[in-house]
Every structure is written in C-alpha cells, then in structure tokens.
Chain A
Amino acid sequence: MADAPYVLDAKGKDLRAASTELKSKLAKDSVVVKNASHLHGLCGGLKSGEITIEGNTGDYLGVVNSGALIKVPGDAGRYVADNMTAGTVIVEGDADYGAAQYCYGGTVVIKGNAGDFTATMNKGATIVVGGDVGDEAATYMVGGDVVIGGNAGKNLGNYLIRGSIYISGEWASLGHNCAAGDVDADDVRKLETLLKEYGVKADAKTFRKITPVSDKPFYSH
C-alpha cells in the first residue's frame, strides 16, 4: 500500500465514473474522496479497501458493504452502511435518517447522533452510536448488537425478535416485545471493548440491556 492515499475529486462526476475510478485505485491505494455529496450509493458492494469520504456524503454510502473500511470524518447522509454484510463504517460526526439498516454483519460506528429508524432490521451487525438515536431505532431486529451511548427516542426496539440493544441513557418509550434488564459480566466485557475501541465515553456498567420477550411476537403458537 502506498504511503499517501489517492485523492479522488468527484466534482462533476456521476456515480459510474467516480465508482470506476475508485475501484481501479482501491486495489493498491487507500482513497480519499472529495466533493461527493451528489453521489448516492458510493462505495457499494466493496469487498476490501480503505476509503475516507471528506465533506458531506450522499445517501446510501457503503450500501451492501462486504469488507471495506469506510471512514467519514464529518456527517453522513441518509441510510449510511445500508444492508452491510462485512467490513467497518466509522462516522465521526452525526448520521441522518436510517443509518445501518438491514445489516447482516460488520461494524458500524456513529460517534455523534443518529436519526430515526437507525439499525432497522439488524440481522447480525454490531452498531454503535456514541450519542443519541432518534425514534424507532432497532425496529424489527432479528440479530446482532446495537449499542447506544446516549438517549433513544420513541418505540425503541419495536418488535424485537432476537439480538440485544444496550443503552446508556434514557428512552422515550420501548416498542412491543421488549424487556429492559441489567447487563451481566459478559455484556460489560463486550461493551468495554467496543467503547474503548471506538472512543465512546460511557461507563459499560451503567448500560441497560433490552431483549425480546417472546421468540414469536407476530403469531401466537
């Protein structure tokens, strides 16, 4: 890997042109992308590589990510890391509506705040939000971990089926099929590792853990 990253100026380029250039450079360089706020779905389906998106990002950044490391020093648009299956997406600032939806695996870290419907239908990813999340976070989750360093809005974890939600602050209301309890020693170890690794300031021991009440909340069996 070369010392200095390749700088891709996306100004005036469409998704195809920017994406083709990005993919051709990623094989041997890390890439810094500038002026890409008009591109939606950039870094889609990448299996490896390291990309930094400077400035505002478009929507669907890193959709179906399959192994790349994507860093956003600023804020992310809507649906960042949508349907990710592997890799890491780190947003230093805030994320707009619907961050990390439909994820199967990998890690998404949003150090600031995240919007409504964050981590909807999480099926196995680790999703860490340092700040607050909006309403309806972790809706219909069927697996994985969602860690919230701040507060949550209304209907947190609605119709949780499997997986765990860890939250340090308050929630406005819990969704259906959710029960709040205390973290155990294993949870604390897991949280301490995550919080330390991603620089989130919170005390792992003070988190509450939200888990599903029933395995099959939709139809009674």
Chain B
Amino acid sequence: MATVGAFCVTLHEDKCINSRMPGKCATCVEICPYGVYSLNGDNEVTVQNYNACVGCRLCAEFCPENAIRINPAESELVSRYPWTLGTVEEIHHKALTGSYGLRGFGTMGGPTPHFDGIVVVPSQLSSPAPRDKYREECNMEVVIGEDTCEKPIRLQYPFIFPAMSYGALSREAKLALAIAAARTGIITNTGEGGVVEEEPYYANGYEMPDRKRKIWEPGGYLVVQWSTGRWGVSADYVNAGDAVEVKIGQGAKPGMGGHLLGDKVTEDIAAIRGIPVGSDALSPCRYYDVVEPEDVKKQVEFLRDITNYQRPILMKLGPSRPYDDVRAAALAGVDAISIDGLVGGTGCSPEVVTQSVGIPTIALIGPAVRALKDLGLHRKVKLFALGGMRGGLDAYKAMAMGADGVGFGSAAEIAMGCRACMACHQGNCPYGITSQNPKLRERLVPEEIGQRLANFINASAEELKILTMLSGHSDVKELSEEDLRALDVNTAAITGLKLVGYERPLPWWENGNAK
C-alpha cells in the first residue's frame, strides 16, 4: 500500500454522465481495481476512497466523457516520513486482517538506482567520428549458440521478451507476443506455465501448424522454460521451441517460486499445466532435483541431449550475487544468461518482496560482465539484462555496460495497453492481458496487439541505432563503458562508470579490485 494517499481524484460533475443521469454510467466504478469509486443507494457515482488510488488512470481512460482527473498529491515523504499515510494504512491493514499485501507488476517508486543516473557520450573530435543513422548501416544482430549447437538463434535486434507464463498472462497476450517476436525477429518465452498450442509456429512466423506459408517476416524464436514447478513439461515440450531456458530465479521475487492463484487456473490452463482446475499453482522456490551446484550442469547436459544438441540452452537468474551466480551459470555450460534486476515485474507477489528484494539492474551488469570476462566467455556466452527496461535508451546503456542484449517484460505489457495498475493478480485486467475472463480477453486481438508490440520493438531498435551511431559505432557489439558517464556520485560508485566532470571512475574503482 505504498501508494496510499498519493493521488487526488477529481470527478467533474458537469461532464459526468452519471451525475446528470444516475444509473446510466458506472464505468469508473466497474473499472477501478481498488474501489476508489462506488455507487450510493441512488445509483450515483461517488469518490468513495481516493486514498486507494494508485494513479494508473484506468478510470480516466475508460470514462466516456473525460470527466476524471487524477493528480499527484503533495508528497508526504517530506512531511511525515517514515510514518506516511501509506505506512499507517499498511499497518492498519495487517492489524485488521493478519495478512500481508499481494500485488502484481514490479518495483514502483522509491530510491532504486536506475539507468536515469547515466548519460550517453556522443562522438566528437577525440573519438571515432559519428555514423550517419539515415544513410549508413548498423549491425544489431546477436547470435546465441553459434559454436555449441546445430540451430543457433539469430536475433535481428538485441532484444527478447522475457518469460511470462500462460496463466499469469492470457492466451491472447501470449499469442500477441509470439506474433511480435516473429515480426521483429526476436525471442518470446513460454514462461513456466507450459506452451500454448499456437505459440511455437506463431513465434516462427507461421499462422498454421503445417508451417508452409510464413506470414510474419522475418520470423522469431520461442524459448521454452524449464523451471521449478515443471508445469506441462514433457519431452515434446522441451522440443517445442527453439531453445530451452533453465529458470533459477526472477527479479520480482528472487528466492520464491511463481504464484498462480487458483482463481486464474481455468480449464485450459489446468490442461496445459497438467493440474486440477482451480488449484493454486505454486512453483517451489528451488529445484528439488538439484542438491549441489554440479547438478545444474548435469541438467544443462541432459537438456542438450534431449534436444539432440540442436538448440541453445539458456539460463535465467534473479538479482542476488551477480558475479558468482553468472560465473556458476556460465560454468554450467549455457549459451546465454538472462539476469533480472530488482525492478523486474511479475503477475503476483508479496509486496515487500517485489518492492525491496534484490539488486538493482544497473548494479548487476558490471559484476556479471566481469564474471564472463574472467572466464574468457564475454560475448561468447550472451548476457541479457532484464528488469525495468523501458526502450532503446535503457538498452543502449545496459549494452554499453557489457550486456549483449536486453529484455522488455513490463514494457511489453505496457505496449499491449497496460497502465501499470499493479492488480494483475486479481485477474480482472481490462485490457485482457493478465485476465482469464473470456469477456476481458476478447478485447485483446492477438494480431492487432502483436503489431503494437512489434511497433514498440522497432521504435526501440531505432532508438538504439541512433545512439549507437552518434557515439561513433556501426555495430552494437562495439559499445563500451567509455560511451557512458554517471551523472551522480552514487551511480558512479555503483557502476564504476566515469563521473561527469571528474571524467574518471571514482578512486576506489581504479585499483582494479572490483569483483
């Protein structure tokens, strides 16, 4: 309830249909996930509880008369911290119910260091001259598994859609992601909830399972996830995609398994996951079939064997001890590692975990890159940075810090229409993204939303291209830390980047002892 009391809700009665004709419209009452509005005994809309507003503005978007205004309230962080209204309300909630808060989406607000503390350095006289974005080429291709398997993945752009399960997302949202991956030549990922029937051939660009006519060029890739819950996993599942990802953890709730509450386990989801309808699908927090580090390596080996040494094996890590974890993942023999930061999102998690557990994304990339460099595997084992990536600018910064690419999870949901209301776990997403309700899912047409996602990816790729070329490069692999500067001491201290003005890394980075 960190956002309690953070917004003022204003209903303009001169515009509101309901205030003129009580009972005629209650769109805001129906759409708000937090009960900000209610109908009184005379069917009049009232602002029942503006303190509950999280500022998502769903109501304003759906209001047919544009009668709602949501404005940020004056910050209580100044006058009442640490006993802000949000904290007071949270304690009252626990005292009344004995339960803690659950919610969807990722880390919101707070002091999390982020990419905004970093700027891009353009090229002038003393570095290689800029390239012409409009009339010269820029290579953005990333290849996964080039030397290790028979069917490597060739990403047209250095982007992936990270794992989001069918169950957390609707079938339509999963298919939209697959179509977008096909249209942009990137990866989509099943997540841990089994594979939707159409996903493998949609992701490769085919509308029909016979794979005769490719309609979405250039065609993308499907990664199937091998995880702690092992939902819907069989030999056919492992071979259904173009790569297998071993999930160790995720940014929103490292150290915990995925939570899919029983309300979202419909007949179709139950069938795909191989579990009873309505049962809570709680993934274990760890692998019961791994008791020592060597076991992970054995798993990577047998996954290669089951996939006939054709497909790349990937690994996804939560934000814990990036140097040691990435080192262990690389030694397990995978072809690519995704490391997900604190800001990474989820469909459902205890709020305290989403909000404050894990290392911020910008602090993960440096140690992860150093681990790979120390093994001589940087740029061979591909590194993808996830967690709060918003577009080409964040991608550039992550890649200049040494990542080979980035993942857009929350940003992809937003590209589908989401307004970050944080109520994914309630299952009533008005855009049909995180809902299993057929009426809400109808609103999400996979082909149309797939195009929106593809537009977002193409635009972000253009941003990355502009930044790459103005800093004097014609290949994203050439980006380096020299292309970045930290704006403040804190960011320079965390990342080891040169501080603006000082033009050197902070002194303790210069002795070379950083892990």
Binding site for B on A (CB under 8 A): 15-16, 19, 40-41, 44-47, 59-60, 63-66, 78-79, 82-83, 85, 97-98, 101-102, 104, 117, 120-121, 123-124, 139-140, 142-143, 161-162, 215-216, 218-219, 221
Contacts and interface: CB of A to CB of B under 8 A. Distances in A.
A60 B274 contact: no
Contacts of A215: 276, 278-279
B36 to A, nearest CB: 25
20 contacts: A15-B302, A16-B309, A19-B305, A41-B301, A41-B306, A44-B305, A60-B298, A64-B234, A66-B235, A83-B230, A83-B233, A83-B289, A102-B289, A104-B234, A104-B274, A121-B288, A143-B275, A143-B276, A161-B280, A215-B279
Nearest to B295: A59
B54 interface: no
B69 to A, nearest CB: 36
A102 B298 contact: no
Q: Describe A's contact surface by its main secondary structure.
A: loop
B84 interface: no
A216 B291 contact: no
Interface residues of B, number: 30
B284 A16 contact: no
Contact of B291 (A64, A97, A140): A97
Contacts of A98: 288-289, 291
B309 to A, nearest CB: 6
B282 interface: yes
Interface in B209-250: 229-230, 233-236, 238-239
B230 A102 contact: yes
A142 B279 contact: yes
Nearest to B302: A41
A123 B272 CA distance: 12
B3 interface: no
B261 interface: yes
A124 B305 CA distance: 25
Contacts of B234: 64, 66, 83, 85, 104
Contacts of A19: 305
Contacts of A40: 298, 301-302
A120 B280 contact: no
User: A64, A83, A123, A161 — which one has the most chain B CB atoms within 10 A of its CB?
Assistant: A64
Given A82-B289, A102-B230, A102-B289, A45 B309 contact: no
Interface of B: 229-230, 233-236, 238-239, 261-262, 274-276, 278-280, 282, 284, 288-289, 291, 295, 298-299, 301-302, 304-306, 309
A89 B444 CA distance: 45
A142 B289 CA distance: 17
Given A83-B233, A142-B276, A218-B280, A64 B238 contact: yes
A101 B299 CA distance: 14
Contact of A64 (B235, B279, B280, B284): B235
A44 B284 contact: no
Contacts of B305: 15-16, 19, 41, 44-45
A142 B275 contact: yes
Nearest to A86: B234
A179 B372 CA distance: 51
Which 9 pairs across A and B sit closest by C-beta, in order of nearness?
A41-B302, A45-B235, A45-B306, A40-B298, A85-B234, A66-B235, A102-B230, A120-B288, A44-B306
A64 B261 CA distance: 27
A41 B230 CA distance: 17
Contacts of A85: 234-235
A98 B274 CA distance: 21
A64 B236 CA distance: 9
A51 to B, nearest CB: 14
A211 B326 CA distance: 42
Contacts of B236: 66
Contacts of A101: 288-289
Given A45-B238, A102-B233, A162 B276 contact: yes
Nearest to A161: B279
Contacts of B261: 219
B164 to A, nearest CB: 21
Given A98-B289, A123-B274, A139-B288, A59 B235 contact: no
Contacts of B295: 59, 78
Nearest to A212: B279
Given A102-B233, A216-B280, A59 B288 contact: no
B279 A121 contact: no
A108 to B, nearest CB: 14
A64 B299 CA distance: 11
A85 B299 CA distance: 17
A5 B133 CA distance: 65
B288 A64 contact: no
B288 A117 contact: yes
Given A123-B275, A143-B276, A221-B262, A79 B235 contact: no
Contacts of A219: 261-262, 280
A101 B295 CA distance: 15
Contacts of B278: 215-216
A66 B298 CA distance: 19
A79 to B, nearest CB: 5
A208 to B, nearest CB: 23
Nearest to A63: B302
A6 to B, nearest CB: 19
Contacts of B230: 83, 102, 121
Given A78-B295, A162-B279, 20 more contacts: A15-B305, A16-B309, A40-B301, A40-B302, A59-B295, A60-B298, A60-B299, A63-B302, A64-B306, A83-B234, A97-B291, A98-B291, A101-B289, A104-B234, A121-B288, A139-B288, A142-B275, A215-B278, A216-B279, A219-B261
Nearest to B298: A40
User: B229, B236, B298 — which one has the most chain A CB atoms within 10 A of its CB?
Assistant: B298
Contacts of A60: 289, 298-299, 302
